[in-house]
Amino acid sequence: MADLPRPIDVLPHRPPFLLIDELVELEPGASATGLWHLADQDFFAGHFPGRPTLPGVLMLESIAQVGVMAVLTDERFADKLPLFGGVDKARFRRQAVPGETLRVEIEMTRLGARAGKGSGRATVDGEVCCEADLLFVVVPAQAG
């Protein structure tokens, strides 16, 4: 969608660790949905040879990156950096493989000045691959 920001313009991540390709829904400070088109990323060669599978930790990271989109597009957090604080209730229910598109959603369940929590999930064709609650802390974007 033309009126939504591009992940590379909001996220502090850069390739090869910028996982979200596009944003499809956004309510700043409340929720976001993005897409990750799984192609021939280098890690598939080793995870696993003959049966390439998206690592679960990268599914969690993709949920976190979509959460960062929701946080950083809220003007209160424009000069901040959300960092992982924890992961609760993580469940992996389906594998994701090259050629599929991961739909990544998060809803912020708490968002304060210094920390927050979001409930997210990653799906392929409506089937849940991963779901988890993510906790994060908010720090200044520049160290100092």
Q: What is the pLDDT of residues 8-24, one digit of tens each?
A: 999 999 999 999 999 99
Question: What is residue 144's predicted lDDT score, i.e. its pLDDT?
Answer: 64
Question: What is residue 134's predicted lDDT score, i.e. its pLDDT?
Answer: 98
Is residue 2 assigned to a domain? no
19-44 tens-digit pLDDT: 999 999 999 999 999 999 999 899 99
Is residue 48 assigned to a domain? yes
56-80 average pLDDT score: 96
Is residue 100 assigned to a domain? yes
**Which domain covers residue 11, as residue numbers?**
7-140
Instruction: Name the catalytic one among 47, 87, 90, 101.
Output: 47
CATH number of the domain to which 89 belongs = 3.10.129.10
37 catalytic per annotation: no
Is residue 13 assigned to a domain? yes
Is residue 129 assigned to a domain? yes
Question: What is residue 88's predicted lDDT score, i.e. its pLDDT?
Answer: 98
CA distance 136 to 117: 6
- The mean predicted confidence, pLDDT, of the chain is 96
Residue 98 in contact with residue 38, Cβ under 8 Å?
Answer: yes
> Can you give the pTM of this predicted structure?
0.96
Is the pLDDT at 86 greater than 90, yes or no?
yes
Among left, alpha and beta (phi > 0; psi -120 to 50; other), residue 126 is left
How many domains does the chain fold into? 1
Following CA atoms 30, 125, 35, 16 in sequence, which dihedral angle do they give, to the nearest 10 degrees? Answer: 130
Phi/psi at 58 (5° precision): -75, -30
Is the pLDDT at 2 greater than 60, yes or no?
no
CA distance 64 to 83: 9
Is residue 1 assigned to a domain? no
Question: What is residue 102's predicted lDDT score, i.e. its pLDDT?
Answer: 98
